[in-house]
Structure formats: structure tokens, C-alpha cells
Structure 1
Amino acid sequence: MAVPATQEGSSRASATPTPKGAWKITFLLFLFMLVNFADKIVVGLAGVPIMTELNLNAEQFGLLGSSFFLLFSVAAIVVGFVVNRVPTRWVLLVLALIWALAQFPMVGTIGFTTLLVCRIILGAGEGPAASVAVHAVYKWFPDEKRAMPTAILSQGSAFGVILAVPALNWVIVNHGWHYAFGALGIVGLMWSAAWLWLGREGPLAEVELAASREQRVPYLQLLTSRTFVGCVAATFGAYWALSLGLTWFTPFLVKGLGFSQQEAGFISILPWIFGACVVLTTGFVSQLLMARGVSTRMARGVLGATPLIVGGILMATTPHVDGAGAKIALLVVGSGLCGSIYVVCPPMIGEFTPVAQRGAAMAIYGALYTLAGIVAPVVMGKMIQSSASLLEGYMSGYTINAVIMVISGLLGLALLWPNTERARLRAHQAVAPEFA
């Protein structure tokens, strides 16, 4: 039976206390994700000045947005296997240094090609970030206590935008977009210094590893399990919306709705504020439900996938309402609801993946769903370029986003059954030769 297997894993997790220093590491990794998303948002925030100075059309700017994700997935997979053997402490430090150094060339006068290459390098450095951070924090918390740390890491993305957008926008308006990149480089170096001083490896990894040596699962079985496929499918739709928010939301406010750069900077943080509320609420509710004995199918799977469907439906109505305020409100709520899936999928994968393989599994998961980041900005650029008006092009792009969100959410509802996945994989192992 699947339930006893899950209960067995849960009882082991609940019997393991949270080590001293776990929340300090969680806070440092929260700041790590904050810097990560500040780096991501800067091109979208400075989109109009960049397009103006470099004389870029919509398709070229869409390509610039997508270039960030060109090596994103490849790097995520490679580093995912590295962290199965190398301490995450040192991997995180190297990633942060790459981010910082990739920003400084933009301080000078550059062309489109230099900007493109630097974004590709930055994307390669940031591709593994989320999965490595999650893998690192899971070395400090047992399974039943992972929902809130995961939610807090997710909040690094929201606060990275909420805090960075006003500051970076002020730099852009008063000193030019070049210096916004330089400021991010300095912040990246500051985090690297703090992590070198305070960062530590979690002590629970060795405990979990000793308990799970006999449970190593072939990667083919892990990656084709229905819950893993469901996580990839559901998060793909959420990341489509996120990548459009990173690249196109501020230009949409300026060019599509007529707001000034300064006004657009303040409006741009609204989806992230709402998303932060969604993420924290999801983490709290998920952990509360699990404490009351609710299955992870409901407390994680259904809880994470349903908001995707609701958000997609709301976003689909955006072209059919009048007024800038109504359109912004629907986009803010629709995209913000996507945040739930980021909270629940990593713990679900962690439920049935042996710790010795978790780093790679998390990385492959991240590499697959972030492929949406390559496609979404280009699709929006093509919609804008080929439409009769800017606003019509934006609305076509957001309608495509809405359809993808609804389909992704439905796939999530159908496929996310983490509470039975461990037993299913063990049963499969019993009749199949083991390899990894």
C-alpha cells in the first residue's frame, strides 16, 4: 500500500529536529534568490530605454529576453549533477560571483551583441540557482517542515522585484540604465562575501543519505513518474507568465497603456506583491493541512494546481475589459496566482526522490519548466510585431499565456499524486533492474 510508505517517511521526518542555524541559512538563501530576481528584472524594467538607445524593435527585444534562458536549462542540469557530489555551499558562491561579474560590462557604452552575450552568461549562472538553493535548504529541514522554507525562498523572487524595482528605476530615471546593471554587480559581490563568511552545509544530508542508500531509483523512472511530469507541466505554465512579467510587463505599461517610466516602475511591483501573499499563504496552508493529516495529493498537488487554472481564466478576460486599471488588475491577479505551484512542487519531488539524487532531480525539473522562458518573450515579441496595434499585440500575447496556464493547471490536477509516488517507484524497482 502507498499510504504506509508515505507515513513511514513522514514519521522519520517528524522525528528529526530542525538543526540550529537552519533559519539563518534560509534567510541567506532568501537574499540569494532576491539578488537572482533583481538581476532578471532589470532588462524588462529598462526595456524602453534599452530599445530606444540600441534602436531595437519588438522582435529583437523579445530575443534579448529569451537569450537569458538560452543556457539556463543546460547549466541547471549540469550543476544539478555536480551538487550530488560537491557541497552546495561552494556551488552557490561560484554562481553568485558569475552573476556579479556578468553585470559590470553594461556600465560602459555597449552594443546589442555585448548585452546579448552578457545576458546569456548571466542566464547560465542563474539557471541552477533555484534548484541548488532548494537542495541546500532541504539539508536543514525534514520533509514535513519544508513548505515554509520553500515559500520563503520563493519570496526571494518576489522581494527581489518589490525592493529592486523602485531602487533600480530611480537609477534608470536619474542616471541611466547602464548604472542599474553596475549596482546589481556590487550587490552580488556583497552577498558573495556574506555567504563566504556565514554559509554552511546542512547536517541532515548525511542522515538522509545513510537512510536512503538502498532506495536509489533509476533516473528514467524518476523523470517519467507522473508527479514529476505533472510538476514540470504545471510549473511550465507558471513560468511562462513569470518570464513575460520579467521581460514585457514594464514595456507594456509604457508603450501599451501610456504610463511614464517612473509610473510604470511602481506599477510593475504589484504582481510581485500579490504573488508574495499567494506564496506565503500557500506555504502556511500546505503545512497546516499536512499537520492535520491531509494527504500531500491535496495539501500540495491540488492546492498548487488549482490557482493556475483560476489565474489563466482571469488573464483570458483581459482583452475584453475596458480601461487600463481593469487590465492591470486582471494581469496582476492572474499572474500572481501562479506562485502557488512554486511552493508545492519542490517538496513533492523531494517526497519520492532519494537524497543522493535530489540535487539532479530538482535541477532537471527546473531546467525543463524554465524552457518557457526561452519561448514566451519571443512569442510576445512576434505578436506585437505582427499586430495592427501595440495594444492588440500585447493582448494576443497575454491570451496565449492564459491558455497555457489553464492547460498546465489541468495537467497538474491530473498528474500530481506525490503521496503514492514513492510506493509506485518502489514497486517498479521490484520488477526492474536497478541503474542510476
Structure 2
Amino acid sequence: MTTQPTPKGAWKITFLLFLFMLVNFADKIVVGLAGVPIMTELKLEPDQFGTLGSSFFLLFSISAIAVGFIVNRVATRWVLLVLAAIWALAQFPMVGTVGFTTLLICRVILGAGEGPAASVAIHSVYKWFPDEKRGLPTAILSQGSAFGVILAVPSLNWLIVNYSWHYAFGALGVVGLLWVAAWLVLGKEGPLVQTVATGTAEPRIPYSRLLTSRTFVGCCAATFGAYWALSLGLTWFTPFIVKGLGFSQTDAGWISILPWVFGAVIVLLTGWISQVLMARGVCTRNARGVLGSVPLIVGGSIIALLPHVQGVGLQIALLVTGSGLCGSIYVVCPPMLGEFTPVSQRGAVIAIYGAIYTLAGIMAPKVMGSVIQGAAVPLDGYMTGFTINAVILVTSGLLGLLLLWPNTERARLMGEEVTQPKFA
């Protein structure tokens, strides 16, 4: 197989898309960060706040699938521009006095705009890097989510504590518009749209075969568990720190950064280790599939200990470690799908994958809100919710180990004769 060079300008685009994902996750985290002030001002019960958290994902999957097929035909440069503009404009109504219904509608619109974001960004960056060089760029894009939280939480929490949660939404709208302006000037479409092996257009594979392949199913199942944990972190982590463990809003803002800092390290390590293993000839079953699945099992097992230990410091440490380990799967699944999906169909396949696993975002916040509402004391409800999360994580990791075999998927789908690398 001939290795393609990385086109000039690839890392500039990667950095811009990193910022794109940074804004994306800052938008996501703001409701959870301002959860207690929002519940207090709008007089919301836990079940209602859970509904608010879930509303973000109401059109998330539908939008992801629709836009996924659009980017098969429309340049990702323009799609990314429109998506970011929607995010920015959806934030500004919250600057003024709003009720629960307005906030709910704006979160639904924001979710519709953000649903396709990760898959379109990945599809865009893959037009700049050949398959064997995609691990690190994928990890960098994933870091946009972590840094979006790490950088946004202190500044947004300062606005919430010193002014109002309304100003936090307005600040995000301004930042979104700044990214739109930068992308309009600097954004470009990548040149790599042909196969690495032949340099010719790839044949199409029926979507029925792509979407029922065991690796596609395995990616959806494994990432579903990781996204369940992520959705709880976005919506319920800060309220848990304040109402469950008794910290102040100011302290909770700093503590809320910890899972994302740890997760950032895990994601970068995963991307680097994956590329090193592949450079040494290790098959992608191990260099991607196993590498992404095992942390889910370990992370779920750690979170399962949470209700059985004493001391808030240890509880926070377990939650940070267990949820942070889940980030590995986001790094390895898109490249695995890219191994066997023709470029002309990749945008749709990655988008459908994203649409399926993000269904966890609809379910997780609502389930947590319901168990908190029904618990004798809030802390017991939180612990029950985290136990459910642990079971889902372990199950998803086991399914990943069972189903993720990307190194043989392309040969099976396309009938190619391939030479298996060592450790296959």
C-alpha cells in the first residue's frame, strides 16, 4: 500500500476544527454548569431539569443523519459554516428573561445544529490525512471537547457567579460568531478523496451492508456507553457536586474541569499509542478495537465502586477516573469506520454512527433526573444513576471487544484479497 503525503495546510485546518469542537462542547456544558441557578430561578424539579438536558438531543440524531448524506455531495467547508452559525444564534435568546419553554426550544435548536458537528468535522479532516495518519488528528479533534470544557468552565462559571447564567449563554453566542468569521476566511476543503491503494474512485457498497457490518454495530454499541457517561457529565456533574456533595457553585466549577483534564490525557495517549502500534504493523483490531474497548470496561468497573466508598474526595476521584477513561473509544471508532467505508459514503456512515450512539444523550439525563426525583434523598438518586451508568459502560465495552474487527471488514465487504499484518 502506497503512503500518501499529508497535504500542505492540513494542520491549519485541524487546528480550526479543534476550535470548532471546542465551541461545540462549551455550548453543551453550559446548562449543566448553570444547572443549580437555572433550577432555582425557573423553579425546576430534578425530573424537569433532566428533560431539559435530554431536549438537547431530541433532534440531534435526526439532524446528524440528514446532514451526513448532505456532506456526501456538498463541501464540508460550507456545512461547517452553517452549523456554527446556528449554534451562535441559538444562544442569544437566553440573554434576556426566559421561561422554561423558551430555554427548552433553544436547546432543541442548538442540538439540531450540533448533532452533525463531530461527524462532519471528522469527515472534513479525513480529506487532509491518509488512513495511517488519522489517529493523531482524530485525537486532536476529540481534544476540542475536553478543552472546550477546560477553558470554558472557569470563565463561564465566573459569569454565572458574578453576574448571571444568562450572560454565560450570550458569551458563547459571541464566541461562536467569531469562529464563523475565522472559518469563512481560512476554511478550505481537503484534497484527499481517492483511495490510498489505487488512486482511483472506489466502488460503492450498499448501505445495508455497511450499517450491518459487525464493526459498525460494535462502534455504535461501544460508543453508546461512553456517550451515556458523557451526557451525565454535561448535565448532572456540577449539580451532583453542589447538591449531592455540598460544594459551592464556585468550587464546583473548578471540580467540574477534572474529568475533562484526565479525559484529555487519555484521548491523546490513545491516539498516539494507536498510531505507534499501527506503524509497527499491529492490526487495527488490536491497535484500534481492543485499545478503545478495554478502557470502557475498566472505567465502568471503577464507577461501580462509587456508592460503596466513603469520603467526597475518593468519590470524586473514582468518578473522574471512570468517566475519563471512556474517551478512548471516540479516537478509534471513526478511523475504523473509515477503513472500510468508501470516501463517497463516509460522511453518511460516520453521521449515522454518531446519530445512533448519541441516542444515549436523550436517555441518560432523563433517567438520572427520574431516579433523583424518586429517591429518598438526592445523593441516593445520584448513586443509583451512576450505578446504571457503570453497568452500561461495562456492557458496551464487552460488545466492543466482541464485534470490532476492522482489519477484516474491508476485505469481507469488497471481496478484496489483503495481506494480514502481524498480530491479526
Q: Give the TM-score band, short-chain normalised.
A: over 0.9
CA contact (8 A) 1:208 1:355 kept: no
CA contact (8 A) 1:44 1:247 kept: yes
> Percent of aligned pairs with the same residue?
78
| 1:289-308 deviation digits (Å, cap 9, x = unpaired) | 00000000000000000000
Matched position secondary structure for 2:44:
coil
Which of the numbers 294, 297, 311 marks the counterpart of 2:299?
Answer: 311
| 1:379-427 deviation digits (Å, cap 9, x = unpaired) | 0000100011110000000000000000000000000000000011123
In 1: Cα distance, 2:340 partner to 2:109 partner: 33
Matches within 5 A, 1:177-196: 177-196=165-184
CA contact (8 A) 1:100 1:185 kept: yes
- 1:242 is aligned to 230
Q: Does 1:425 align with 2:413?
A: yes
| 1:152-207 deviation digits (Å, cap 9, x = unpaired) | 00000000000000000000001100000000000000000000000000011256
Which of the numbers 339, 347, 357 marks the counterpart of 1:359?
Answer: 347
- 1:165 is aligned to 153
In 2: Cα distance, 1:214 partner to 1:113 partner: 48
In 2: Cα distance, 1:212 partner to 1:359 partner: 19
Structure 1, unmatched stretches of 5+, are: 1-10, 429-436
Which of the numbers 62, 65, 82 marks the counterpart of 2:50?
Answer: 62
- 1:86 is aligned to 74
Q: Does 1:19 align with 2:24?
A: no
- 2:273 is aligned to 285
Shift of 1:213: 3.5
CA contact (8 A) 2:194 2:201 kept: no
- 1:373 is aligned to 361
Matched position secondary structure for 1:248:
helix
In 2: Cα distance, 1:410 partner to 1:214 partner: 33
In 1: Cα distance, 2:131 partner to 2:180 partner: 28
In 2: Cα distance, 1:206 partner to 1:422 partner: 16
Which of the numbers 368, 372, 393 marks the counterpart of 1:405?
Answer: 393
- 1:221 is aligned to 209
TM-score by length of 1: 0.94
Amino acid at match of 1:246: L
Q: Does 1:143 align with 2:138?
A: no
In 2: Cα distance, 1:66 partner to 1:203 partner: 38
Matched position secondary structure for 1:338:
helix
Shift of 1:132: 0.1
In 2: Cα distance, 1:393 partner to 1:326 partner: 18
TM-score by length of 2: 0.97
In 2: Cα distance, 1:111 partner to 1:325 partner: 36
Q: CA, structure 1 residues 321+215, in 2 after alignment: closer, same or farther (shift >3 Å)?
A: same
- 1:110 is aligned to 98
Q: Does 1:128 align with 2:116?
A: yes
Amino acid at match of 2:255: I
CA contact (8 A) 2:293 2:401 kept: yes
Matched position secondary structure for 1:337:
helix
- 2:419 is aligned to none
- 2:284 is aligned to 296
| 1:320-344 deviation digits (Å, cap 9, x = unpaired) | 0001111100000000000000000
Shift of 1:79: 0.1
Matched position secondary structure for 1:205:
coil
The RMSD of aligned alpha carbons is 1.2
Which of the numbers 59, 63, 72 marks the counterpart of 2:60?
Answer: 72
Shift of 1:215: 2.2
Higher helix share: 1
In 1: Cα distance, 2:272 partner to 2:362 partner: 32
